């Protein structure tokens, strides 16, 4: 399971959950992705393991998971 908090302004965070990390990657490949690349992310976990990203954005998370 992939869980993370995202925000446009870096303060008012909402949570997103995907059953699998690959579901998130597939959703971002759509013509109109679920989330915009520039959104800030924090508190990311993949299968219960915390992830620390150098680029803490939705785009950075996509790149991390798609590598």
Output the domain CATH number for residue 37.
3.30.1490
Read off the pLDDT of residues 15-42 as tens digits, 9 standing for 90 and up.
999 999 999 999 999 999 999 999 999 9
**What domain count does the chain have?**
1
Beta bridge partners of 40: 7, 57
Q: What CA–CA distance (Å, rounded) separates 49 from 54?
A: 16
Mean pLDDT within 56-61: 97
Q: Has residue 49 got a pLDDT over 90?
A: yes
Residue span of the structural domain in which 54 resides? 2-66
Q: Give the dihedral of Cα atoms 24, 29, 33, 39; nearest 10 deg.
A: 70
Task: Report pLDDT for 64.
Answer: 97
Q: Assess contact for 41 and 58: CB atoms under 8 A.
A: yes
Tell me which of 34 and 67 has the higher pLDDT. 34
């Amino acid at each position: 399971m992939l869980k993370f908090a995202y925000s446009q302004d870096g303060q008012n965070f909402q949570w997103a959950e995907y059953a699998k990390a690959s579901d998130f990657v597939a959703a971002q490949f759509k013509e109109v992705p679920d989330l915009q690349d520039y959104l800030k992310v924090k508190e990311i976990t993949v299968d219960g393991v915390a992830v620390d990203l150098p680029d803490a954005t939705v785009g950075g998370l996509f790149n991390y998971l798609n590598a």
